[in-house]
Amino acid sequence: MGYWRKLGALVEKDLAVEFKTKEMLSSMFIFSFLVIVIFAFAFTPSRATTSEVFPGILWIGITFAGVLGLNRSFAGEKDNDCLLGLMLTPVDRTVIYLAKAASNFLFLVAVQAVSLPLFFILFDYRLAGPLWLLLAVILLGTVGFIVTGTFLAALAANTRASEILLPLILFPVIMPVVIGAVKCTAIVLAGVPPELKGELVRWVKLLGIYNIIFLTVSLMLFDYVLEV
């Protein structure tokens, strides 16, 4: 079986497992929604505060929902030695990593697709910049989050108290993504004023470089994480 077909098969498996119960997806979505509501109460949404704070809230929602999904992605494999089963399949270990990353990415994007409009509605926010650019920027940030998140989730799965450990080890490492994504989102939401265009490009480049570096490093080091 070719590399990509194996990858596809693994992703299919994850998707199939999830669609049986839709438990994780719904938890992620509800959690994201809860974050929105809590922030709505925490910040009395006057127009000025909202526009300042909105990109940040967006990404906090994505991050927290994302961590929830990441925790589940490997926790499920720990039971019944599923992970061992995966490792016994005749695949290059990196396929497992990429497949997990791909399925995590799809889940998070699915949650985003539903919760993003909800964010805009509840905060009565007007999008000034182009929609495609906003989506591109959000996807770029999500990729960075998922790339590092999947790798560290696999690492944390080897420890006890892995569910508490993951956010603690993930958040410091993910800082550049959060900073960059919030900055980019803020600029796009404000309609990309010409004086900020250079800054947007700069941040996009940073996110891109982060993604490439961490994807590469994760691929190189994943074998060690899965060793028995």
Partner 1 sequence: MKGSAYNLRGHNFIAWTTGFLMLASLYAIFLYAPLERHMLEVQKIFYIHVGAAWNAFFAFFIVFIASIIYLKTRNLKYDVLAAASAEVGLLFTTIVLLTGPIWARHSWNAWWTWEPRLTTTLILWFIYFAYFLVRSGVAEKARRAVLSAVFGIIGFLDVPIIYISVRWWGSHPTIDTTGGGLHPMMLHALIVTVLAFAFLYGYLCQKAMALENTRQELQDIKEKLRESI
State the nearest-atom distance from the C-beta of 74 to partner 1, in Å. 13
129-188 positions binding partner 1, by CB under 8 A? 148, 151-152, 155-156, 158-162, 165, 168-169, 171-173, 175-176, 179-180, 183
Other beta carbons within 10 angstroms of residue 81's beta carbon come to 11
Other beta carbons within 10 angstroms of residue 188's beta carbon come to 24
If the CB atoms of residues 24 and 177 are measured against partner 1, the closer one turns out to be: 177
Q: How many binding residues for partner 1 (CB under 8 A)? A: 34
DSSP track, 141-207: HHHHHHHHHHHHHHHHHTSTTHHHHHHHHHHHHHHHHHHHHHHHHHHHHTT--HHHHHHHHHHHHHH
Residue with tokens 């250079």: 198
187-216 positions binding partner 1, by CB under 8 A? 199, 202-203, 206, 209-210, 213-214
State the nearest-atom distance from the C-beta of 60 to partner 1, in Å. 16
CA dihedral sign, ordered 223, 8, 78, 217: positive
* Chain residues in the site for partner 1 (CB under 8 A): 148, 151-152, 155-156, 158-162, 165, 168-169, 171-173, 175-176, 179-180, 183, 199, 202-203, 206, 209-210, 213-214, 217, 221, 224-225, 227
